[in-house]
Amino acid sequence: MSTVNRRVTLLAMAAVAVASPFAASAQAAGKTLLNVSYDVSREFYKDYNAAFAAYWKKTTGEVLTLNQSHGGSSKQARSVVEGLEADVITMNQANDIDILAERGGLVPADWAKRLPDNSAPTTSVSVILVRKGNPKNIRDWGDLGRPGVSVIIPNPKTSGNGRYTYLAAWGAALKNGVAPAAVKALVERIFANVPVLDGGGRGATTTFAQRNMGDALVTFECEVPLIQREFGGDFEVIYPAWTVLAENPVSVVDKVVDKHGTRVQAEAYLKYLWSDEGQEIAAKQHIRPRSAKVLAKYAKDFPKVNAFTVDEMFGGWKKAQKEHFDDGGFYDQIIVRTKK
Amino acid sequence: MFLSRTLLKRHSVLPGFDLALGFTLLYLGFIVLIPLSAAFLKTATMTWPAFVEAVSSPRVMASYRLTFGASALAALLNAFFGLIVAWVLVRYEFPFKRLVDALVDLPFALPTAVAGIALTALYAQNGWIGQMLPFKVSYTPIGVFVALTFIGLPFVVRTLQPVLEDLNHEVEEAAATLGANRWQTFTKVIFPVLTPALITGFALAFARALGEYGSVIFIAGNMPMVSEITPLLIITKLEQYDYQGATAIAVVMLVAAFSLLLAINGLQAWTRAKQGR
């Protein structure tokens, strides 16, 4: 899927590149912003860009061209590090923005402190999707580790969705009072029940919904409506007692906006994500808004959950990545043992 | 220039040798050597123990076995069936022959991800083919083999076709008049002529399979130690921004693939020489 997406993105970018000189001349030299984002935020930013462009035109009179590029999040971050001139970067994991500070100093190290809520205007949570009627009676993470249960999880090595799933199960076990020494064994039992490690979240969805594999699929809450729409309502969502809060951080890419002279526009673009309009667009896409007001308005779509952040439970993404997901980390130890 | 003038030029009857050779080297340098040498340079920044660690952990070794093994098997299967396909397409007339001929190129043209998704759907346990088979194909190493067979087929067929077309019917007729039976005609007369092309086709299909990522990734299941291909491990290293580790594995693959291709080319030259062509 990602290759196809990339091709489509490239085509779109090529089309934009060809079209933009004409667009620019027609619309009195407006500036252009490129938003480089992760794979499944496409629909959200499509709507948001239209809303922001209208807002910006109304308040300043300037016509902005907003381009978006989507793909696997680490892949996108690497492109920016290697020279893709993104004015803003919008990710679903803080370490994919940290890398811009570490390599080439494209953003300052304290980028997350520049905007409210850790610079994350929206969130989602990892939930469990089961087949209708919940025949295996799956209620919580622990049930996924039972013998005879099969669960589809995207590969934590290549997918942010997979990493959040793993951290959700790990953190929930700690929150539920499992002794730290026993947590690893518990997560290991869950991954021993994984028959396929798809490259990304959408691939795992296909495996679960279309290939009919597995009793459960772990994915983001915001993906559930799409799955229900595409594959019918043959699934039920299970909210575990504890889960992880997936924060979607955003940042201006300082080196690029200073070069393009687009800092004002880029900062406004990100700030508007916290506006009522921006938060509502997110809520409509089943992405959890930060605003209490908007959250209350859409309360039926967002059941109350107990969620911990990666920062409070694992001491930040950098530490979690190093301890759990880098080569030889806990995840490798677990997965190699379950498959030997 | 010195080299060309003293050693090579006197063999050449065509003008423009210096220019053509210079252009060839420059072109190959830009297109092939410079990008590849970047991989070697990146790897050179690693310490030796770190390099060994990166390229020989049990998980990486398991992926080499799968990638090289499945690629070789797929290329072998293609060499056998590709020969039959090429033979039928060249030697016989039948309805819709051109359509069938065009079908052979489809694996070239199809985006590999599309091929991967289609094959996975077909061979999954609830798929058309998968439900008829007594064993699992999708999400196992057999799935990897199936995907690599699919993408490799055109290489064998397209290298064999022109050689088969050039084959002189008179030689076969002569063999027959001299008392050879059909099997002898095939094994002693036709097959030796085809061997070099067959080896080339095998080598191309094999090399293509080694680097294949897009289609395999959907059907493999990607289980560590079981169905992880080497290109996937390169991607996972990149995901953790471990550029050195990724290029280290890439360099090993490159060297292995290059040695194998060199050996196959040598074999091909040897079979040609044996036939005195």
Contact of A5 with A39, CB cutoff 8 Å: yes
What tokens were used for B104? 């052979």
- Would the pLDDT of A16 be above 70? no
Is the separation of the CB atoms in B211 and B67 below 8 Å? no
How many whole angstroms separate alpha carbon A37 and alpha carbon A33?
A: 13
Non-local (6+) Cβ contacts of B132 within 8 A are: none
| Nearest CB partner across the interface for B221, out of A4, A7, A197 | A197
Closest partner residue to B112 (CB to CB) among A3, A198, A213 is A3
Q: Are strands A151-152 and A216-220 parallel, antiparallel or unpaired?
A: parallel
Chain A CB within 8 Å of residue B59 CB: yes
Residue identified by tokens 């480089």 is A36
Q: Mutate which of B216, B229, B241, B242 to test chain A, going by most A C-beta atoms within 10 A?
A: B241
Q: Which residues of B touch A211 (CB under 8 A)?
A: 120-121, 124-127, 138
Q: Which residue has the tokens 């064998």?
A: B156
**pLDDT tens across B206-229, in order?**
999 998 998 999 999 888 888 999
The predicted pLDDT at position A39 comes to 81
**This model's pTM is above 0.90:** no
Cβ-nearest to B236 among A1, A78, A158:
A158
- What rounded mean pLDDT belongs to chain B? 88
Most B CBs within 10 Å: which of A98, A155, A322, as the mutation test of the B interface?
A155
A/B interface, count of CB pairs below 8 Å:
82
Pick from A190, A261, A200: nearest CA to A38 = A200
Give the tens place of pLDDT for each residue, B117-164: 999 999 998 889 999 999 999 899 999 999 999 999 999 999 999 999
The predicted pLDDT at position A57 comes to: 94
- Lookup: tokens for A92: 């679903």
Q: CB neighbours of A236 closer than 8 A, spacing ≥ 6?
A: A129, A130, A131, A132, A133, A134
CB contact under 8 A, B111 and A195: no
* Tally of CB atoms within 10 A around A127: 22
- Half-sphere exposure of residue A260, counting CA atoms within 13 Å on the CB side? 21
Kindly determine whether residue B113 and residue A4, on different chains, have CB atoms separated by under 8 Å.
Answer: yes
Q: A191 near A170, Cβ under 8 Å?
A: no
Q: Tell me the residues of chain B between 153 and 182 that have a Cβ less than 8 Å away from chain A.
A: none
Mean pLDDT of A228-247: 92
Q: In the prediction, which pLDDT does B6 show?
A: 52
| DSSP, res B227 | T
A55: tokens are: 């807002």
Residues of A in contact with B222 (CB under 8 A): 155, 196-199
| Measured distance CA(B156)–CA(B107) in Å, rounded | 12
Please report, rounded to a whole number, the percentage of residues in chain A having pLDDT higher than 70: 91
Tell me the residue length of chain B. 277
How many angstroms separate the CA atoms of B20 and B29, rounded?
A: 14
Contacts of A301 (CB under 8 A, 6+ apart): A283, A286
H helices present in chain A, as ranges: 2-26, 42-60, 73-81, 95-102, 141-144, 160-175, 180-192, 201-209, 224-231, 254-260, 263-271, 276-284, 292-297, 310-314, 317-320, 330-339
Please name every residue paired with A124 in a beta bridge, in sequence order, or none if there are none. Answer: A246
pLDDT for residue B104: 93
Cα A192 off chain centre by = 25
Check whether B238 has a pLDDT greater than 50: yes
Residue B100 has pLDDT above 60, yes or no: yes
Backbone angles phi, psi at A137, to 5 degrees: 50, 60
Cβ-based neighbours of B147, under 8 Å, separated by 6 or more:
B115, B116, B119, B212, B215, B216, B219, B220
Cβ separation of A197 and B124 shorter than 8 Å? no
The confidence score (pLDDT) of residue B8 equals 52
Q: Identify residue B186 by its one-letter amino acid code.
A: F
Q: Considering only the beta carbons, identify the residue of A4, A75, A335 that sits closest to B224.
A: A335
Taking the C-alpha atoms of residue A55 and residue A260, their distance in angstroms, rounded to an integer, is 21
Name chain B contacts of A78, Cβ cutoff 8 Å: 238, 241
Among chain A, residues having any CB pair with chain B shorter than 8 Å are 1-4, 7, 74-75, 78, 99, 103, 155, 157-158, 195-199, 203, 206, 210-213, 321, 325-327, 332, 335-336, 339-340
Q: For chain B, how far is it from start to end, CA to CA, in angstroms?
A: 30
d(CA A93, CA B245): 23
